[in-house]
Amino acid sequence: MQVTKWVAVTLTVLLLGGKVFAQSVDDIIAKNIDAMGGQDKLATLNTVYEETTSSIMGNDLPAKIWVVNNVGFRMEMEMMGSKMVTVVNKDKGWMINPMAGSTDPQPLPDEAVKTFARRMTLGGAFFNYKDRGYTATLVGKESVNGKDTYKIKMTKTGEPDATYYVDATTYYVDKSSTTTFMNGQSVEQDIIFTDYKKTPEGFVLPNSYTMELPQGELVTTMTKVVFNQPIDTTKFQNP
């Protein structure tokens, strides 16, 4: 009886302890927002201009990216002597890809538009997520490159699901998994984020991210970033 009593007491303490120290999804998201610069700081983001270099199969692919918060996204990437242009606004997108045999803008599929549109929320996936119609669910913990992370699934009606892995120590996003559609099939796309740094303006950003592609590993490094400079919104119009 004495043993049974202590087993019961031990289980009760463990269960209560789990409840006391367990974090809700909103606790984790709040800590992520703080880690990225804070709610007030992120709310000041209106535009971002980036320069990056992506490396794959021994080739370096420089790119320029313009984003106006919740208005438009434009990326120009140099590839084997050609310029590939991708543009997305609130509900439409187009691409110019000379390597596909055409220099005319071609419309992007709706699924691709929805995936690229996530880049237009400059505060990040968790910023004001409820106001933007998303639901966040904490679905467990998982190790990413040897680090414990909280696994948070983000859903919104009419959009592909996305899962974010938030570092249990730094509260940075270490990995994202997004459902995309290619040739009518559902495909999981994973991105690993590393080398987080705080800018002089007080924003915290990953300076490198890695994607696994059929052609090999694509590693992208940020070489320049400018915040809140004026951007001509005609960049997001179909020529």
Percent of the chain having pLDDT more than 90?
66
User: Is residue 15 a part of any domain in this protein?
Assistant: no
Q: What is the CATH number of the domain that holds 119?
A: 2.50.20.10
Sequence-ordered list of residues with C-beta below 8 angstroms from that of 227, at least 6 positions apart, any chain? 45, 47, 48, 199, 201, 203
User: Is residue 54 a part of any domain in this protein?
Assistant: yes
What's the average model confidence in pLDDT over 114-130? 90
Q: Looking at residue 185, what is its pLDDT?
A: 65
Q: Which residue has the higher pLDDT, 102 or 128?
A: 128
Give me the number of domains the chain comprises: 1
User: Is residue 131 a part of any domain in this protein?
Assistant: yes
Chain mean pLDDT for the chain = 87
Confidence of residue 17 (pLDDT cuts 50, 70, 90): very low
Sequence-ordered list of residues with C-beta below 8 angstroms from that of 96, at least 6 positions apart, any chain? 83, 84, 85, 102, 103, 104, 105, 106
User: Is residue 18 a part of any domain in this protein?
Assistant: no
What's the average model confidence in pLDDT over 157-169? 93
The answer to whether the CB of 63 falls within 8 A of the CB of 56 is no
82-89: long-range contacts, CB 8 A cutoff, minimum separation 24: 86/116, 87/235, 87/236, 87/237, 87/238, 88/113, 88/116, 88/117, 88/119, 88/120, 88/236, 89/236
Q: Which residue has the higher pLDDT, 223 or 2?
A: 223
Q: Which residue has the higher pLDDT, 180 or 177?
A: 177
pLDDT of residue 120 exceeding 60: yes
User: Is residue 16 a part of any domain in this protein?
Assistant: no
User: Is residue 6 a part of any domain in this protein?
Assistant: no
Token pair 């549109």 is at which residue? 117
User: Is residue 204 a part of any domain in this protein?
Assistant: yes
Domain that holds residue 131: 23-236
User: Is residue 199 a part of any domain in this protein?
Assistant: yes
